[in-house]
């Protein structure tokens, strides 16, 4: 009779979850014992960085990833990073170690009391098996729930369960398959096609799920068939459409009134693969202009249920895009040429304007480079200068919490070793996931981190201005030298001054991780 550990290892192998991101504690060692040769354990030095790396890896690979955390303390350390994985609908399977069963009730040290509720409501499903024999089935449910819900799941397992016998019925999980098909029915399809075909001035809003699902090019074809303007949904975490395409109008502002203003004159707004909407700044007003109808298509049933207006269809956006492409005639003239980027702004003094940095990235790096961005204060400069035309080119912290960017870049680079990956990280956010540099060095990940140092939390200064509190304490962070920090973790680093030096450094193609620190002038996000 196989042990629970052996059976679970076999199940994970069959499901393709052979890369494990973790930071082990005593409760996790029995699960990690005898890990098969085909598995890869990616060690992170802090649980927040562990989840960030796994999040980036899962998004870039398009597959669920196993995360191994230490009881309640390690799970707690990971919660901030987990918020981004939840908002980006990343299918992480979080497996946490628990004390031995006899020690849980007395609350022995490292026991996780009421473990299944610890991570709620962040995760889509959480459990602690009632007995050792149920562990393989519960692990299978954690994997399938993560896939079906596109959301992290959490399983707490007492560490004495791993060496127990699995039971006669447990091997049945090895051959399980759980799949989902979500295609509009006949009447739903007819009504949707008619609504879009009858619209005089349709507008298209695309969410990050379009890029996550591999629908980037299909979205371009649909937009060109419809002929109207295209926006990216607010609070964007993946880019679903080429940002210099002639039909692209940018990322919708994250406020009620400005979103409504953007839709003026459009009788139909078709939202694909996005919530309606993830506002940020509280700018009240009408949700939609008079006479404008909104139709949302999403696989996220919760997003459909909580939307404050419009109609919603819970279905596969890819199936809907295919249906519309087959059913609609092209409108108007074909799309024109892509818009060129403007000349970058310059800064007074020795610091570079962020636009100069982004123009250098655009010109010196390959066109298929994937960028993981966590520099909110330079958002406006980023979109003015970048030219992103390929799927999987842009990753951003989906929940707005700092700490995803640097670990996420490590994870994306590990998942796509044949694609150039660059992390564009602000000096404020870098501190949250800095330990990921060590993992990058240990695995010799060919990753470039461009560290933008302006000595302040620029996005907070901008938001403070909106709130009328521009001089709040704690907004400046002077005295940080990330070149020395990076070298301490084993990553080669240098500080560059002028734009020509930056371009020369970016033109190099090292096969190891590196950090480039650039002093930049303070700008505003929008």
Please identify every residue annotated as catalytic: 25-26, 28, 47, 70, 280, 400
Distance, in Å, from the CA atom of 128 to the CA atom of 512, rounded to the nearest integer, reads 40
Distance, in Å, from the CA atom of 23 to the CA atom of 39, rounded to the nearest integer, reads 16
CB under 8 Å to 493, separation ≥6 — which residues?
482, 483, 484, 486, 487, 514, 515, 516, 517
CB under 8 Å to 353, separation ≥6 — which residues?
344, 345, 346, 347, 381, 520, 521, 523
Question: How far, in whole angstroms, is CA 250 from its chain's centroid?
Answer: 19
Distance, in Å, from the CA atom of 294 to the CA atom of 135, rounded to the nearest integer, reads 45
Q: Are strands 268-272 and 293-298 parallel, antiparallel or unpaired?
A: parallel
CB under 8 Å to 403, separation ≥6 — which residues?
48, 49, 52, 80, 81, 84, 397, 429, 432, 433
Tokens of 245: 């395409």
Tokens of 344: 């970058």
Residue located via tokens 């051959």: 175
CB under 8 Å to 473, separation ≥6 — which residues?
none
Beta strands per DSSP E along 315-420 = 370-374, 394-395
């Amino acid at each position: 009779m196989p042990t629970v550990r052996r059976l679970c290892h076999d199940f994970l192998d069959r499901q393709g979850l052979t890369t494990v991101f973790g930071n082990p504690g005593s409760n996790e060692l029995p699960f990690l014992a005898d890990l098969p040769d085909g598995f890869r354990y990616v060690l992170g030095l802090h649980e927040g960085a562990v989840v960030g790396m796994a999040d980036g890896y899962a998004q870039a690979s398009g597959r669920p990833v196993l995360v191994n955390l230490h009881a309640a303390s390690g799970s707690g350390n990971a919660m901030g990073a987990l918020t981004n994985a939840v908002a980006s609908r990343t299918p992480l399977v979080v497996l946490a170690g628990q004390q031995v069963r006899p020690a849980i009730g007395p609350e022995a040290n490292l026991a996780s009391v009421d473990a299944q509720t610890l991570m709620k409501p962040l995760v889509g499903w959480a459990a602690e098996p009632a007995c050792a024999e149920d562990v393989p089935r519960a692990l299978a449910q954690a994997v399938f729930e993560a896939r079906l819900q596109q959301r992290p799941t959490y399983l707490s397992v007492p560490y004495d369960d791993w060496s127990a016998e699995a039971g006669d019925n447990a091997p049945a999980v090895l051959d399980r398959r759980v799949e989902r098909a979500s295609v509009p029915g006949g009447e739903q399809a007819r009504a949707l096609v008619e609504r879009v075909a009858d619209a005089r001035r349709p507008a298209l809003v695309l969410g990050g799920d379009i890029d996550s699902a591999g629908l980037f090019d299909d979205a371009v074809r649909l937009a060109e068939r419809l002929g109207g303007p295209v926006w990216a949904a607010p609070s964007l975490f993946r880019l679903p459409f080429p940002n210099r395409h002639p039909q692209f109008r940018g990322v919708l502002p994250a406020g009620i009134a400005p979103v409504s203003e953007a839709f003026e004159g459009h009788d139909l707004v078709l939202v694909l693969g996005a919530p309606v909407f993830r506002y940020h700044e509280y700018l009240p007003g009408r949700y939609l202009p008079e006479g404008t109808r909104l139709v949302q298509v999403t696989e996220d049933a919760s997003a459909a249920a909580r939307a404050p207006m419009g109609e919603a269809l819970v279905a596969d956006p890819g199936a809907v895009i295919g249906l519309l492409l087959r059913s609609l005639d092209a409108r108007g003239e074909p799309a024109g040429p892509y818009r060129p980027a403007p000349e970058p702004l310059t800064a007074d003094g020795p610091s570079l304007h962020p636009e100069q940095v982004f123009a250098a990235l655009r010109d010196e790096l390959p066109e298929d480079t994937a960028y993981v961005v966590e520099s909110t204060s330079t958002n406006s400069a980023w979109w003015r200068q970048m030219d992103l035309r390929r799927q999987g080119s842009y990753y951003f912290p989906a929940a707005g919490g700092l700490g995803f960017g640097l670990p996420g870049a490590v994870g994306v680079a590990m998942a796509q070793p044949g694609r150039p990956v660059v992390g564009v990280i602000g000096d404020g956010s870098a501190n949250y996931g800095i330990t990921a540099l060590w993992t990058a060095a240990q695995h010799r990940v060919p990753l470039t981190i461009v560290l933008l140092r302006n000595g302040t939390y620029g996005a907070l200064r901008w938001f403070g201005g909106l709130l009328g509190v521009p001089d709040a304490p704690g907004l400046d962070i002077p005295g940080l030298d990330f070149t020395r920090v990076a070298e301490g973790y084993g990553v080669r680093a240098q500080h560059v001054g002028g734009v020509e030096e930056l371009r020369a450094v970016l033109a190099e193609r090292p096969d190891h991780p590196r950090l480039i620190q650039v002093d930049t002038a303070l700008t505003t996000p929008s």
